[in-house]
Amino acid sequence: MEFDTKTRELSLSGEGPCLTCTALASTSDKTSFAYVSARDRWPVILTGAIDDIYRAVSESAGTKQQEGKRIIEDLAKLKYELQHDRQLTPLPDDGQPDIAGYNAELEQLGNPSWFNVPWLFAECYLYRRIATSFSLSKEWKSHDVFARQKMSTFRSSRPAVLELANRYHELISQMEKITDDEAEKILFMEMCEVCLWGNATDLSLLTSLTYEDIQKLQGSEARKASEKNIIINDLGKAYDVLKKAKNEGKKTRQVDIILDNAGFELYVDLILSGFLLSAGLATNVVLHSKSIPWLPGTAPKLYEDLKESELVIFKGDLNYRKLTGDNTADTVKAVWDPTTPFTEAIGPLGPGSGVNVLALRTCKADVVVGLKPGEDEKLREMEGGGGDSGARKWAWSGKWAVVSFSSGK
């Protein structure tokens, strides 16, 4: 998906309809999470990356040590430029085809500074520039500055991993004996909800080991508690699409999952994939990972392949922002009112695209669509929601989630 900064049009690989927009979430808006990210989050991320390389350099020698010191200097310079609101500079060519696109976009934006730039572009640029520091080296090409953090977090999830594995094994072992569609639907929804939250705190969703017990969860306090912070929930629509394809006897029924994070979140994505296959809701599942281990990238040639999929699941906040063009609302004077239908906001991937889209997203940015009238105002009035500040703070913390579906067939 591409956004033309001059025409304000969003398109997918130059194909299909274009979506006319007026503005993008910008780091210049002090009431937005974009500004908070540039001021607070990104410097901390860069400091962590520098610390990781410093530790690795102390364990190195010779050429690798010298290259490591240069990478530290590069990242320190990037941090300085960010904190002092310097202009974004063209990315050095590391031989990858996306560099030209980044630099062309940067030129179209008029070589903006860090606190006056579209947030979505700036965040992607930040991580892509970090990547060039490694890709232009000889000894550090495969180094992941976030690997230590990923491993530490995943190790802390070990009890949840084992618990979910045991529950999944018991459920799958019974699937051939049970033909209850309602129980299957409930289990599908709960598997997806675990994937949505992507952490160990949500295993209460799978409290039972039999389909009979799972069926009892429908309408229960346990399900209500698990769903109370999902302000849009289209999982039932997604299930109906997969069930319909199965009942029609299609020989090939593919589900594509556009991945987000590693660790426990990836683990539950694999659990969901296994469930879809075991339940016969898919004959094959394709997982789309990141070309750079810390940056969801672009894949312009993927569109035609996705048309053949029964369902394409987009994971995470950044992928949601890409789907909607990161166009926020009211205070930043951008195009999306929060009541804008999701099917409209995703433009060329909406109705008529040939792609069934399901977005699983915990809200960690201002942009949100598909809300009922008055819902945004209600959430703002809650403690920490933003109130009269003009900021949509309720959408920053990851406490709330949206599960949005669009039928493109």
In Å, what is the CA distance from 391 to each residue of 322, 379, 386, 387? 21, 11, 5, 8
Q: How far apart are CA 17 and CA 276, in angstroms?
A: 32
> Would 60 be classed as within a structural domain?
yes
Q: How far apart are CA 78 and CA 83, in angstroms?
A: 9
Are residue 109 and residue 208 in the same domain, yes or no? Answer: no
Are residue 42 and residue 94 in the same domain, yes or no? Answer: yes
Domain boundary among 89, 114, 145: 145
Domain boundary among 145, 169, 191: 145
CB burial class (10 A; 0-12, 13-18, 19+) of residue 322?
buried
Are residue 281 and residue 399 in the same domain, yes or no? Answer: yes
What is the structure's pLDDT at 22? 40
Each of the 409 residues of the chain gets a pLDDT tens digit; together they read: 344 433 334 433 333 333 333 456 899 999 988 999 999 999 999 999 999 999 999 999 999 999 999 999 999 999 999 999 999 999 999 999 999 999 999 999 998 999 999 998 999 999 999 999 999 999 999 999 989 888 888 888 888 888 888 888 888 877 777 677 888 888 899 889 888 887 544 444 454 445 555 455 445 565 566 688 999 999 999 999 999 999 999 999 999 999 988 888 899 999 999 999 999 999 999 999 887 765 655 555 677 888 999 999 999 988 999 899 865 443 333 458 999 999 999 998 999 999 999 999 999 889 999 999 999 999 999 999 998 888 899 999 888 999 999 999 8
Look up the pTM and report it: 0.83
Domains identified in the chain, total number: 2
Are residue 262 and residue 345 in the same domain, yes or no? Answer: yes
What is the structure's pLDDT at 309? 96
CATH number at residue 57: 1.20.930.60
Domain boundary among 112, 145, 178: 145
Q: How far apart are CA 83 and CA 126, in angstroms?
A: 13
Are residue 73 and residue 163 in the same domain, yes or no? Answer: no
Are residue 74 and residue 173 in the same domain, yes or no? Answer: no
Burial 65-75 (b: 16+ CB within 10 A, else e): eebbeebbebb
What is the structure's pLDDT at 228? 87
> Would 12 be classed as within a structural domain?
no
Cα 371 to chain centroid distance, Å, stands at 19
Are residue 162 and residue 80 in the same domain, yes or no? Answer: no
Q: Find out whether 324 and 338 touch, Cβ atoms under 8 Å.
A: no
> Would 3 be classed as within a structural domain?
no
Residues near 104 by beta carbon (within 8 Å), at least 6 away in sequence:
none
Cα 98 to chain centroid distance, Å, stands at 20
Q: Which domain holds residue 115?
A: 21-145
- State the distance between the two ends of the chain, measured CA to CA, in whole angstroms: 19
In Å, what is the CA distance from 156 to each residue of 70, 196, 271, 382? 33, 19, 18, 32
Q: Find out whether 207 and 222 touch, Cβ atoms under 8 Å.
A: yes
Are residue 124 and residue 232 in the same domain, yes or no? Answer: no
Residues near 152 by beta carbon (within 8 Å), at least 6 away in sequence:
none
Are residue 270 and residue 386 in the same domain, yes or no? Answer: yes
Are residue 108 and residue 215 in the same domain, yes or no? Answer: no
Are residue 66 and residue 186 in the same domain, yes or no? Answer: no
Are residue 111 and residue 170 in the same domain, yes or no? Answer: no
